Amino acid sequence: MLYSNETKIEFEAKYLNWLSMTFIRCYCFLMIPLAIIGHSLSIFVFTRRSLRSNPCVMYLRVATIFGLLSACFILPMRLIQSGYIGLDPTVHSIYICKIVWFLLYSIRLLSFWFVVLACIDRYLCSSSSMRKRSWSNAHVASQTIRLTLLIGFLINIHILIGFNINISPMTNQPVCHSGGRPGLYRKISSLFNLIVFGSVPSLCMLFFGSLTLRQIDRKNDFQIVIGTYTKKVRKIRKSERQLTRMLLVQVLIYSTTGLMFTIAFIILAKNSNRQKTIVDIAKENLIIAIVGMLSNTGPCSSFYLFTLSSKRFRKELKRPFRRFVQRQIQIQMSNCNSWATPIDSTIRESNIPKNIL
């Protein structure tokens, strides 16, 4: 009786769509400023002279740059496309649709794989083999970064061919779908995303992270046996553990959110040919909104993960601010001394007896 102009099913579908748009808005409005501030500070730390030439930091620095691009490009685009109705600029041109999703997928892909490269570098650096350790250097890192950038963009070139503007069955409005056109291409694309975004990066992170921990433990046991467990060794071990801890915390976030995103798309792709009601479509949109937004948590929250997991990162972050405060205190003290000197001399002269003068 209350909803005389619309059925109960239509009201439920509209409510689910409202939930998905509200979740996207809240997530983006919260994450965008936090990510921009955090990544800016991370880049500031990773460009410090003491860390600039470290190969692991070089990978993390590039991953942070792509995380900043995610906060400045991916999240605002997703907010415009899915957080509001009628504001999506990609539906007006097939070329804009393809280019935007090409950039979205490429940025997200590269942010994942640079973390994998950082894990591989930690494994090489902690290896007992001199030949493996020789691969952990700034020259190899710079060449690997260039090659990864090239592959990361080329591997998503299919988006410029396969994506298309479709008509949404919910609103009968054009939509640039993130999964590509329905049918075989969407299933292959979802399987590709499961491999490239979810399973392979996550397994590589876990694999090389566990190998790094094992190498560090073996090296420490060997040093204890031969009696060379010095203060310097303990300092190196502590630094290696902190870098490893930073990576493993990222691995947990990336693996969880990445697998959720790709598995959800695989399940939805399998059911793409089944007849659905508007409520079923609204439920799928809600799932896509949740897992799609959460998949950006890893690339956008790395600064806070670094800060919580690494004492060295916190130290490098606080060092320039501490120096700035100390410099300001010294300037203030010098100014006070310059003002106090003539006053003190005047006081001393006034206390001298006139007959002496």
Identify which of 160, 164, 187, 167 has the alpha carbon closest to the alpha carbon of residue 273: 187
**Rounded to an integer, what distance in angstroms lies between the CA atom of residue 223 and that of residue 240?**
15
Domain-embedded: residue 120: yes
End-to-end C-alpha distance for the chain, whole angstroms: 107
Domain-embedded: residue 329: no
The answer for 69, left when phi > 0, alpha when psi is -120 to 50, beta otherwise, is alpha
Torsion, CA 119, CA 124, CA 128, CA 130, rounded to 10 = -170
Residue 84's identity, in one-letter code, is Y
Residue 52, pLDDT score: 78
Burial class (CB in 10 A: 0-12, 13-18, 19+), 330: exposed
Query: Domain residues for 83?
Result: 8-324
Q: Where do the H-state alpha helices sit in 135-199?
A: 138-154, 159-162, 184-193
* pLDDT averaged per 10 residues, the chain (length 357): 60 84 90 89 82 83 89 86 75 82 88 88 81 85 93 88 69 65 71 78 80 70 49 60 71 76 72 74 82 81 73 73 75 69 49 47
CB 70 within 8 A of CB 277: no
Domain-embedded: residue 2: no
Residue 146, pLDDT score: 94
The CATH number that applies at residue 119 is 1.20.1070.10
Q: What are 283's two structure tokens?
A: 């439920």
Domain-embedded: residue 314: yes
Report residue 167: phi and psi, to 5°.
-100, 125
Domain-embedded: residue 301: yes
CB 170 within 8 A of CB 280: no
Helix (H, G, I), strand (E, B) or coil at 49: coil
Element (H, E) at 65: helix 55-69
Domain-embedded: residue 41: yes
Domain-embedded: residue 355: no
Within 10 Å of residue 223's Cβ, how many Cβ atoms? 16
Positive or negative: CA dihedral 304, 310, 315, 316: negative
Within 10 Å of residue 250's Cβ, how many Cβ atoms? 25
Domain count, the chain: 1
Report residue 166: phi and psi, to 5°.
-115, 170
**Rounded to an integer, what distance in angstroms lies between the CA atom of residue 172 and that of residue 278?**
12
Residue 224, pLDDT score: 46
CB 125 within 8 A of CB 136: yes
Domain-embedded: residue 337: no
Within 10 Å of residue 69's Cβ, how many Cβ atoms? 18
